[in-house]
Amino acid sequence: MKSSGERLKALLLECNLTPSDFAAQRKVSPQHVNNWFKRGVPLARLEEISDLLCVHRRWLQTGEGPKYLNPIPRLCSPCPRQSPYTQSPTDLMSHDGQNAPIPFYCVRGGKLEAVPGGNLRLPIRAFDALGVDPGDAVCLSMPAYNMGPALPYGTTLAIDRSFTRVVEGETYALLHGGHLRVNSLSLSARGVLCLHSHDSRNHPPERLTPLQRRVQGVEIVGWVFWWAHLRPNRPD
C-alpha cells in the first residue's frame, strides 16, 4: 500500500465499514471518501481519522512505524490475574455442589440497583480459577446489540466489579451518562479510552478523552467474566 488512501481503504475493510457508512459517520459525501482513496487522506483529516480508527497518524500518512495505537481488540481472552488453579474446562465447569450466588442488578435512575429475590449460582472453583471474589460479582443483562452475535441483546453477564483496570481487548460493563453499555476497551498512552464493538460495521469505535469521560459521566463498572444466553428459536 503506497498511499494513505490505500491504507484508509484497507482499514475500513478491517472494520467492516463501507465507504458510504464511513462517509455518513464523518458527515461527508461518499465522493469525498472515494477522493481520499485516490488522492490520499487530507493532512487536515489525518489526526481525526487516525484517532477514530485507533492507528498511528504517522503510519496512516507514510506507512512507516507501528500501525495500531493498541493491539487489535479481542472479544474475550485469558485474564492476566494470578490464579491458584489452571483455567481449564474442569475448573470453569465444575459441578461439585459448592456454588456461590451472584445477585442480579439493573440500572435505575442512572445507578446500579439490586433486583430483589434474584441470583445466579456459579461454582466456587470457577471463581477461584479466575481470581474473582464472589462478593465482588454481579449479574447484568446485555443492554444493546453492539456486541452481537457473540453477546446477543439480553445475554446474562457476570461482572467482576473489583476489576476496572483496562486490559487491552477485554470486555467491560460501563455506565455512560447513566446508561449501561458493554464494550471491549483499549487505552492509549494519552489516556484516551477507545470503546470497541464486536459489530464494528454498525458500531464504529468511539474514543473518549479523560475530559470527555468526566463531562459525560463514564464509569467502568467491571470486567465481564461469564455470559450465557438462550437460542433465539427452535430448529423447526
Which of helix, strand or coil describes residue 95? coil
Which has the closest alpha carbon to 76: 180, 155, 8? 155
The sign of the CA dihedral 120, 138, 175, 11 is negative
Which has the closest alpha carbon to 221: 131, 107, 80? 107
- Percentage of the chain exceeding pLDDT 90: 47
Q: Which residue has the cell 464504529?
A: 204
| Three-point CA angle 99, 104, 110, nearest 5° | 150
Question: By CB neighbour count within 10 A (0-12 exposed, 13-18 middle, 19+ buried), where does 220 fall?
Answer: middle
Q: Which three cell numbers stand for residue 157?
A: 453477564
CB-based contacts of 35-44 (< 8 A; 24+ apart in sequence): 36/4, 36/5, 36/8, 37/5, 37/6, 37/8, 37/9, 38/5, 39/5, 40/3, 40/4, 40/5, 41/4, 41/5, 41/8
Q: Phi and psi (nearest 5°) for 140?
A: -135, 165
Distances from the Cα of 223 to the Cα of 34, 45, 77, 184, 187, angstroms: 40, 34, 12, 10, 15
**Whole-number pLDDT of residue 188:** 85
pLDDT tens for 182-200 read 999 999 878 899 999 998 8
Mean pLDDT of 163-181: 95
Q: Is pLDDT of 48 > 70? A: yes
pLDDT tens for 7-34 read 999 888 877 678 887 888 788 898 999 9
pLDDT tens for 107-161 read 999 999 999 877 888 888 889 888 999 999 999 999 999 998 889 999 999 999 9
DSSP code of residue 142: -
Q: Which domains does the chain have, with CATH numbers?
A: 4-62 (1.10.260.40), 89-228 (2.10.109.10)
Q: Is pLDDT of 233 > 70? A: yes
Cα dihedral 30, 35, 38, 39, rounded to 10, equals -150
pTM passes above 0.75: no
**Whole-number pLDDT of residue 92:** 46
